[in-house]
Copies of this chain bind each other. A is one copy, B any other.
Amino acid sequence: MVVQGLGFVGAVMALVVANAPHEDYVVIGVDLPTHEGKQKVDALNKGVFPIESADPTVEELHEQALDQQNFLATCNEHAYEVADVVVVDVNLDVEKNTDSDRALRGYDVDLSPFKSACRTVAERCPSETLVIVETTVPPGTCRNVVKPIFDETFEKRGLAKTYRLGHSFERVMPGPDYVDSIRNFYRVYAGIDEDSADATRDFLESIIYTDEFPLTRLGSTTASEMTKVLENSYRAMNIAFVQEWTEFAEEVGVNLYEVIEAIRKRPTHRNLMFPGLGVGGYCLTKDPLLASWARSAHGKGDGEAHLPQSETAVEINDRMPRHTFERLQTALDDTVEGKTIVLLGVSYRKDVGDTRYTPAAYLYDLLEEHGAAVKLHDPYVEHWDERDREVRQDLEAVLTEKVDAVVFSTPHTEYEDNAELQRRLHALPDSIVVHDAWGVLSDGEIGALQSTHRVQVSGRGDLHSEQTHSTETDSFPVPSFDSSTTATSSS
């Protein structure tokens, strides 16, 4: 069994298959013979998992696989020649064209690297190979891109078209449930024909605990491909939706956390999201655009948004960190120039070291651009590759006398109920600003910071504070409610 692509998904997928509960596999993980690819391969063969993870199971599976000697990483493409199963886990990127304010002006989807990866497999794999695409692709790709590549290549090789081709996207979540997000989770699959679908099912049943998490078979690979981009678009939209309400609630002095908590008691409203700094990671930031691109490819002319709500969600999320920047600016007497600002957290998500498309990056850029000195802390990131910046793991190094503002920019568990962190915040000068963009601080912590040290707390902080009704009236003027008023809509 060969995994193509040893990134966040492929690397852990390889280990899961090497430790499959219902079948014995010999697993070969293949990456490109680039500097980065070779580094990953070397690391994996040495027992060093290339991605920082809060899930101890990753290390266990890795050790077991090396002990069992049924796992090997390589850059050698000959590996595909012995594959019964190939799982495709290569990237498929979207390049966004944005203006200086991060408004989305267009985007490019380049299928070439993905197609080239498929061709490599098609040129070498045995004729009966089962190929399962796990990569998130524009709906229609297996049918309209992958299949033609295999048909054409097999014809050149003089082989009958006896390969099987399935699609079954991953729902991998790096973090404490990294392995469980593969082995213990619902999975959708489809095949290019019945035989392919059956083979895909059999493979998935051998690696996933399907008794507890039954598989869902869909009618076509296009349906399976659409499922992935639709579910991520739904989530992106749910996050984007809360932004305008965050702003409104702040304007009228309402604690949006308590409002959302009240609403989420209703089962029909449980997916409503809390406010945050923004959206990051490899999926939510691009998957809606993959779908929109596929719809545009289907005969709709360019120049219009083909899935407008889903595209708008991406744009709102991309721009969201600007709101935190603006609140910081206001709190710091309207300028961040010359101020020292600490970001607690640079990764895109709680308890992971993944900084790809992290919302902290846009906040960081805005702060730098406006002349602030930014100090970085993250328990999971030692070097922030995308910004080529060292990141500290010791709070002592960042929370010093010279600080003007502290921002909770990633909601790592380590920042919650952390006595040392609280002690260090209390030791800072009274004039500093603490901005909690994620609701990390408890009511008690906020109260203590506000009452004893006159620290200005924003984010969830001031939402959780006592609301005097007079303040509320002040910030929401009476006259504007008089008689009938016409508002103009967005259209």
Contacts and interface: CB of A to CB of B under 8 A. Distances in A.
A486 to B, nearest CB: 5
A350 interface: no
A253 interface: yes
Interface string A472-491: 11011110110111111111
Interface string A96-133: 01000001111111111000000000000000000000
Given A248-B291, A469-B220, A476-B140, A485 B241 contact: no
A263 B309 contact: no
Contact of A259 (B223, B237, B255, B478): B223
Interface in A266-315: 266-272, 289, 291-299, 302-312, 315
A307 B248 contact: yes
Interface string A229-259: 0110111010011001100110111110011
A122 B271 CA distance: 40
A355 interface: no
A160 interface: no
A237 B238 CA distance: 9
Given A216-B262, A491-B315, A480 B230 contact: no
B251 A108 contact: no
Nearest to A193: B469
A188 interface: yes
Interface stretch (A143-151, A374-382, A384-392): A143-151
Contact of A484 (B109, B138, B316): B109
A233 to B, nearest CB: 8
A103 B491 CA distance: 7
A361 to B, nearest CB: 20
Highest count of chain B CB atoms <10 Å: which of A141, A259, A312, A484: A259
A106 B488 contact: yes
B476 A266 contact: no
A335 interface: no
Contacts of A309: 240-241, 244, 309, 312, 316
Given A235-B269, A473-B143, A226 B259 contact: yes
A261 to B, nearest CB: 8
A222 interface: yes
A112 B484 CA distance: 7
Contact of A293 (B245, B255, B485): B485
A438 B220 CA distance: 22
Given A237-B237, A259-B218, A305 B477 contact: no
A230 to B, nearest CB: 6
Contact of A144 (B240, B266, B478): B478
A188 B264 CA distance: 12
26 contacts: A105-B488, A105-B489, A106-B487, A138-B481, A139-B254, A140-B252, A143-B469, A145-B481, A186-B262, A193-B469, A216-B262, A218-B262, A220-B467, A223-B258, A226-B248, A234-B269, A235-B269, A244-B308, A271-B271, A297-B480, A297-B481, A302-B487, A304-B488, A305-B489, A311-B490, A312-B491
Interface of A: 97, 103-112, 138-141, 143-145, 148, 171, 186, 188, 192-193, 216, 218-220, 222-223, 226-227, 230-231, 233-235, 237, 240-241, 244-245, 248-249, 251-255, 258-263, 265-272, 289, 291-299, 302-312, 315-316, 467, 469, 472-473, 475-478, 480-481, 483-491
Given A104-B491, A218-B259, A268-B271, 5 more contacts: A105-B489, A144-B477, A144-B481, A237-B237, A244-B309
Q: Closest 4 A-B residue pairs measured CB to CB? A: A305-B490, A297-B480, A104-B489, A271-B271
